Amino acid sequence: MSKYVSYAQSGVDIDANDVMVDNIQSHLASTYGPRVINVPWGFAGLFRLDYDEKLFKKNYRNPVLVACTDGVGSKVQVAAKAKKFDTVGIDLVAMSVNDMLVMGAEPLFFLDYVALHKLEPGLVAQMVKGVAAGCRQADCALLGGETAEMPDTYRGGDFDMAGFAVGVVEKNRIITGKDVRPGDRILGLGSSGLHSNGYALARNICFKRAKLKVTDTIDELSGQTVGEALLAPTKIYVRPILKLLAKYRVKRVVHAMAHITGAGLPGNVPRVLPKDCNAVIKKSAWPRPKIFNFLQKLGPVEEKEMFDVFNMGIGYLVIVVEDFADAAARLLIAEGEKVYNIGKITKGTGQVVLKD
């Protein structure tokens, strides 16, 4: 036995990292557009803000860069338990690009960070495959990322993810909510389920209290397994929302938007409300996905707690001028979204008022 200690003996495999990088290159390349400058094995990613050819030229006049970062919380623990790693990458992209979309920004590129106990190239490739799928949905480039093998920090089978997105918006098209006024209509876009929030509560209900397994099939969830229901990836709203904003480049039809993440409707909508306005939302205006009724009954969980923690079926919200609300809804529906007229803006104190 050698008297010398090595990195591999300490738990880190450099050769596995090289294999992993080779495995994920095709996933990254699948997200590249003409503005990506590809430098294989480069130390950083390169992206042109504009492009010389007329077909791709953006003609920015006063561009403002927009940056977001986020993770997927303890949803990664459900993925590890189910041994399904190809969907949480979509969640990772969604959490950042949906946030910047609220400002009216177009996502440009994305970077990811994965930390885990032991680097298994095939497993990481599954994760990055999901990230690339999310980037394609958001029409942004996956320029690169970082994988950290940390055997003394993470237990066997554990991992965590973080994502970083950069986008752009014309300065005079930034949406902040300052134009919101009484009479505006509130359109809610349907979620695909829990998205990436409230998993501490969901895991407590399913795995600690009810002692369910990820493989258990649940009749109330239309025959889905617990794992399938909890791992439904977050919807990415980039294409339909950017199409809506492009439709009304001159008129200020969209007054505000909100990505409904942790703290639900009551916690996220006030972030874009003026202090003299309320958002009055009718809870019966949309159908709740079955996962929410299942968790509320199984918990049991109080109604207020459900709305304070989960999106309850509305993943994204658009506040529009009343006269254009129906046209905006039709456009979003034509783009494949489930759209509900869920409320109105009234005079108030910057709060969400939930009504039955």
The CATH number linked to 138 is 3.30.1330.10
> What is the pLDDT, as a whole number, of residue 17?
66
What backbone phi and psi angles, to 5 degrees, belong to 135? -65, -40
Q: Could you tell me whether strands 159-170 and 106-116 are parallel, antiparallel, or unpaired per DSSP bridges?
A: antiparallel
CA-wise closest residue to 188 among 334, 91, 304, 329: 329
Residues 119 and 20 grouped into a single domain: yes
Q: What is the pTM of this model?
A: 0.94
3-state SS, the chain, equals CCCCCCCCCCCCCHHHHHHHHHHHHHHHHCCCCCCEECCCCCCCCEECCCCCCCCCCCCCCCEEEEEEEEECCCHHHHHHHHCCCCCHHHHHHHHHHHHHHCCCCEEEEEEEEEEECCCCHHHHHHHHHHHHHHHHHHCCEEEEEEEEECCCCCCCCCEEEEEEEEEEEEHHHCCCCCCCCCCCEEEEEECCCCCCCCHHHHHHHHHHHCCCCCCCECHHHCCCEHHHHHCCCCCCCHHHHHHHHHHCCCCCCEEEEEECCCCHHHHHHHHHCCCCEEEEEEHHHCCCCHHHHHHHHHCCCCHHHHHHHCCCCEEEEEEECHHHHHHHHHHHHHCCCCEEEEEEEEECCCCEEEEC
Residues 168 and 190 grouped into a single domain: no
Please indicate, yes or no, if residue 179 is contained in any of the structural domains. Answer: no
Residues 134 and 209 grouped into a single domain: no
Please indicate, yes or no, if residue 36 is contained in any of the structural domains. Answer: yes
Q: Considering 147, 173, 199, which residue would you say is the last residue of a domain?
A: 173
Please indicate, yes or no, if residue 9 is contained in any of the structural domains. Answer: no
> What is the pLDDT, as a whole number, of residue 6?
72
> What is the pLDDT, as a whole number, of residue 4?
86
The C-alpha atoms of residue 188 and residue 317 are separated, in whole angstroms, by 5
∠ at Cα 255 (253, 256), nearest 5°? 135
For residue 106, what are the β-bridge partners?
168
Residues 119 and 207 grouped into a single domain: no
Please indicate, yes or no, if residue 7 is contained in any of the structural domains. Answer: no
User: Domains in the chain: how many in total?
Assistant: 2
Say which residues have a Cβ less than 8 Å from residue 12's Cβ, sequence separation at least 6: 119, 149, 151
Residues 90 and 222 grouped into a single domain: no
Residues 192 and 167 grouped into a single domain: no
Residues 48 and 74 grouped into a single domain: yes
Radius of gyration (C-alpha) of the chain in whole angstroms: 22
Residue 323 sits in a domain of what CATH number?
3.90.650.10
Full residue range of the structural domain in which residue 242 is found: 185-355
Residues 303 and 207 grouped into a single domain: yes
The C-alpha atoms of residue 107 and residue 109 are separated, in whole angstroms, by 6
> What is the pLDDT, as a whole number, of residue 14?
72
> What is the pLDDT, as a whole number, of residue 3?
81
Residues 267 and 162 grouped into a single domain: no
> What is the pLDDT, as a whole number, of residue 59?
81
Please indicate, yes or no, if residue 334 is contained in any of the structural domains. Answer: yes
Positions in the chain whose pLDDT score sits under 50: none
Residues 227 and 350 grouped into a single domain: yes
For the chain, what is the largest distance between any 2 Cα atoms, rounded to a whole number of angstroms? 79
Residues 212 and 169 grouped into a single domain: no
Q: Considering 143, 173, 203, which residue would you say is the last residue of a domain?
A: 173
The C-alpha atoms of residue 316 and residue 335 are separated, in whole angstroms, by 15
Buried b (16+ CB within 10 A) or exposed e, 295-323: bbebbebeeeebbbbbbbbbbbbbbbbee
* CA–CA distances in Å: residue 144 to residues 47, 54, 94, 128: 11, 27, 17, 10
Please indicate, yes or no, if residue 3 is contained in any of the structural domains. Answer: no
Please indicate, yes or no, if residue 2 is contained in any of the structural domains. Answer: no
Q: Considering 117, 138, 173, which residue would you say is the last residue of a domain?
A: 173
Residues 122 and 230 grouped into a single domain: no
Please indicate, yes or no, if residue 289 is contained in any of the structural domains. Answer: yes
